[in-house]
Amino acid sequence: MKVEEIIRKVPELSHEFLSFNSLNGGLCNQTYKVQTKQSSYVLRINSRQNEYLNLTRRSEVEVMKKANHEGFAPRVISNNHPEQFVVTEFIEGRMLEKNDLKDDNIKVMIMDRFKQIHRMEGQGRTCTPYDLIFGYLKGADQFQVKHPDGLNRMLRQVEKIAHKRSDDKEYNGKFCHNDSFLCNMIYTGQQLQIIDWELSGVGDVFFELTLIPFTNQFSETDEREWLKLYFGYFEEETFHIFQDMKFVAMVREVAWGMFYSGLTKGDSNHNFDYYKFAEYCIQRIEQGIYQL
């Protein structure tokens, strides 16, 4: 469905419509800022990934509404066709960047948001890191994407970690955003708004906590401070769990890259080499480096 068609369908967008332009930041969905005389909106045209992850777009919208009610997500404007697109208010601000992690106040804000998310009710959605990995791989297999060398060995390790984590009733089985990278955190100058809830569901807090460190080259000292900031104390056991979940997060990246290499094959709108990215992640894992 084209942007112009959607704008005509949504009264809030079509009334006194001025312009639309593409927004940067995502490699999965198509996202646009739509400007009218009265306001600014975000139009997200959904990719097909959730078809393979057993996550409905309608339940995602319910999560978004709940997060907005609690004060940390944009307001949903239109969700009449959630499987195809969703429209939210446009939040004036900027995406967080790596340099923001030098600011202790920003890090406290991030942790406060994590804790708020982890207290949310499940809304009937379950999305563990293992669901993500095997959902993406199932899709990749349907697209006949070749498994990179070494992947099967890594999947066996993931299954061992999943078994170990199943005993943790305190931090496993909590609601998680599961896509909480810096690019999905909008800083308004006073607070953080969290966007892109499509992978949210009941999962593992430790997986959530790895996502910023493993994509921003945290040192071991940084990781220890990060864990202490969330839990209020530091224990070696939590650090070891964190390392396991960084491994899982890297394997998730492999599976994601494989899936999208199949999904976007022949699509001229995508110039990112997803399969090459998956191979890069495999190489990093084999080198014992669990960060991008």
In a domain, 276, yes or no: yes
Span 68-83, mean pLDDT? 94
Domain boundary, last residue among 69, 91, 113: 91
Domain boundary, last residue among 40, 57, 91: 91
Say if residue 158 is in the same domain as residue 218.
yes
At 122, the pLDDT band (50, 70, 90 cuts) reads: low
DSSP secondary structure string, 99-156?
GGGG-HHHHHHHHHHHHHHHTS--TT-B--HHHHHHHHHHHHHHTTPPPPTTHHHHHH
Contact 171, 206 (CB under 8 A): yes
* CATH code of residue 139: 3.90.1200.10
In a domain, 100, yes or no: yes
Say if residue 113 is in the same domain as residue 243.
yes
Identify the burial level of 193 via C-beta atoms within 10 angstroms of its C-beta, where 0-12 means exposed, 13-18 middle and 19 or more buried.
Answer: buried
- Is 0.75 surpassed by the pTM of this model? yes
* CATH code of residue 48: 3.30.200.20
Which of 40-54, 162-176, 276-290 is the least confident region? 40-54
In a domain, 291, yes or no: no
In a domain, 176, yes or no: yes
* pLDDT tens profile 210-261: 999 999 999 999 999 999 999 999 999 999 999 999 999 999 999 999 999 9
Give Cβ neighbours of residue 182 (< 8 Å, ≥ 6 apart): 95, 96, 97, 98, 100, 101, 212, 215, 216
* pLDDT tens profile 153-175: 999 999 999 999 999 999 999 99
Say if residue 67 is in the same domain as residue 119.
no
Say if residue 145 is in the same domain as residue 51.
no
Say if residue 233 is in the same domain as residue 102.
yes
Query: Side chain identity at 209, as an amino acid letter?
Result: L
Give me the domain span that covers residue 208: 95-286
* pLDDT tens profile 178-216: 999 999 999 999 999 999 999 999 999 999 999 999 999
Contact 37, 23 (CB under 8 A): no
Domain boundary, last residue among 91, 116, 135: 91
At 265, the pLDDT band (50, 70, 90 cuts) reads: confident
Say if residue 252 is in the same domain as residue 131.
yes
Number of structural domains the chain divides into? 2
Say if residue 49 is in the same domain as residue 169.
no
